[in-house]
């Protein structure tokens, strides 16, 4: 039993370490985008392999615990949630890498005027990620729910950004290439927000035992 | 023991049903895109809720089997692979919905000349999806490996499509909006290919017990 608790703690510890790495990768890719800080992008690239390796290790650890300890009830729920969160984190890490690549590429192109809404979106998404991970650490269903309600704000900002970028491309052919980078960056940020939402849903599943995936009405009512 | 076998069969059966729905959604979204067949897009939208519901049911079933039967070795590996494949399928379904939406929207816009490469990419991606799912059904590692080696062709087509679309937008402002739809469609297709690749990796994990995620060199050497 002691051994089992130790294994669960190890799983929790590694998942937190992975969270920290992914949160930092997102922060750094946004720094490169918003502040033009190239160094941050390179650190994101350096840490990519470690995040990928960590995902495999966490998955292996979760499978080993399932096989050897045959956990039930709350512990089983924690382990399956951990596996899902692990996979969300790895995808968020990929999106941070892609964002950093595009942010670097933007620094080398004639770019449209700084898009205020992209910076807003980036900071909103960062805060969603932070809240989702804090909610997981603290098993805080209330905090998890605040992540779910940020969805609408993300959609509004995304629409505003797309409209602005399409107008920019229509008015100035020399800005087409950089606008396309911005389009994909906005899409990456929106997807990172989706993954943060998935993690928040996993936290609700873990804390309350309620599966809120695909049930927007339940989520909003909460 | 009989009960356990029945549960595994039930899990396998549902996952195949889900595969069939998702494969059809991808096929229909491509039909709408390539043939301009609006009806296909609407069927994709109608089936979305069923795919989402099915993902939850499969996940619940997998968790129940883990909790009640405490499987080990091959069975455990099958169940964890099934859970991952389930999640890949649901994401592919989402991408098919988004592709169908954008394909419909293209039918209402002044569009650039038909992009031959987009049709090529769509058909390549469809074949990767079919092979990945067949490999899972037949536990065919050889077939799974052919999916992994299609990656390069996908990347080449994507690059060609992006270059063509950027030139189109630079030369004709009236085609910016539709070109943006095409950009995102190409990105969706590329991501569906990524998910097919992930499923192929899960099949290798299942059949050979080798975790090939994030190890391009191992995959290519195979």
- Give per-residue pLDDT as tens, B130-165: 999 999 989 999 999 999 999 889 999 999 999 999
Chain B environment of A214 (Cβ under 8 Å): 49, 52-53, 55-56
- B109 versus A132: the higher-pLDDT residue is A132
CB atoms B162 and A170 under 8 Å: no
- A4 versus A103: the higher-pLDDT residue is A103
CB atoms B173 and A169 under 8 Å: yes
What CA–CA distances, in Å, run from B156 to A145, A180, B50, B117?
42, 18, 34, 10
Q: Which residues contact residue B39 at a Cβ distance below 8 angstroms, ignoring those fewer than 6 apart?
A: none
Residue B217 forms contact with A (CB below 8 Å) = no
Residue A74 forms contact with B (CB below 8 Å) = no
Chain A environment of B99 (Cβ under 8 Å): none
**pLDDT per residue over B39-52, tens digit each?**
999 999 999 999 99
CB atoms A169 and B169 under 8 Å: yes
Between CA B151 and CA B196 the distance in angstroms is: 10
Per-residue pLDDT band for B195 (boundaries 50, 70, 90) equals very high
For residue A163, how many C-alpha atoms fall within 13 Å in the half-sphere facing its CB? 7
Nearest to B66 among A56, A66, A211 (CB): A66
Tell me, rounded to whole angstroms, the distance of Cα B152 from its chain centroid.
Answer: 17
Residue A55 forms contact with B (CB below 8 Å) = yes
- CB neighbourhood size of B26 (10 A): 26
Q: What pTM was estimated for this model as a whole? A: 0.86
> How distant is the Cα of A33 from the closest Cα of chain B, in angstroms?
21
CB atoms B177 and A162 under 8 Å: no
Domain range for residue A167?
A: 2-221
What CA–CA distances, in Å, run from A165 to A183, B103, B115?
7, 20, 22
Which residue on chain B is closest to A57 by alpha carbon?
B211
Give the least confident one: A91-95, B26-30, B168-172, B209-213. Answer: B209-213
Between CA A146 and CA B190 the distance in angstroms is: 32
**pLDDT per residue over A14-71, tens digit each?**
999 999 999 999 999 999 999 999 999 999 999 999 999 999 999 889 988 887 777 7
Q: Which residues contact residue A184 at a Cβ distance below 8 angstroms, ignoring those fewer than 6 apart?
A: A98, A102, B187
Q: What CATH code is carried by the domain that includes residue B167?
A: 1.20.58.220
CA geometry: angle A140, B49, A130, nearest 5 deg = 25
Q: What is the pLDDT at residue A3?
A: 85
Domain count of chain A? 1
Nearest to B67 among A53, A76, A176 (CB): A76
Between CA B108 and CA B131 the distance in angstroms is: 33
Between CA A67 and CA B8 the distance in angstroms is: 16
CB atoms B87 and A83 under 8 Å: no
Q: What's the rounded mean pLDDT across residues A141-150?
A: 95
Between CA A7 and CA A40 the distance in angstroms is: 34
**pLDDT per residue over B27-78, tens digit each?**
999 999 999 999 999 999 999 999 999 999 998 899 888 877 777 778 888 8
């Amino acid at each position: 039993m002691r051994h089992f608790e130790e294994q669960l703690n190890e799983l929790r510890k590694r998942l937190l370490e992975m969270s920290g790495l992914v949160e930092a990768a997102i922060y750094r890719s946004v720094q490169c985008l918003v502040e033009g800080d190239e160094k941050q992008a390179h650190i994101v690239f350096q840490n990519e392999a470690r995040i990928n390796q960590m995902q495999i290790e966490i998955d292996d650890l979760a499978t080993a615990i399932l096989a050897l300890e045959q956990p039930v009830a709350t512990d089983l729920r924690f382990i399956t949630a951990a596996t899902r969160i692990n996979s969300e984190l790895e995808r968020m890490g990929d999106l941070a890498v892609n964002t950093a690549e595009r942010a670097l590429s933007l620094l080398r192109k004639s770019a449209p005027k700084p898009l205020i809404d992209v910076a807003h979106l980036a900071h909103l998404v960062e805060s969603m990620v932070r809240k989702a991970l804090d909610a997981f650490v603290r098993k805080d269903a209330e905090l998890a729910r605040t992540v779910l309600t940020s969805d609408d704000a993300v959609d509004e900002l995304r629409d505003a950004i797309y409209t602005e970028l399409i107008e920019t491309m229509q008015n100035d052919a020399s800005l087409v290439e950089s606008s396309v980078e911005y389009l994909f960056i906005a899409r990456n940020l929106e997807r990172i927000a989706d993954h943060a939402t998935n993690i928040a849903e996993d936290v609700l599943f873990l804390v309350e035992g309620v599966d809120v995936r695909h049930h927007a009405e339940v989520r909003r009512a909460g």
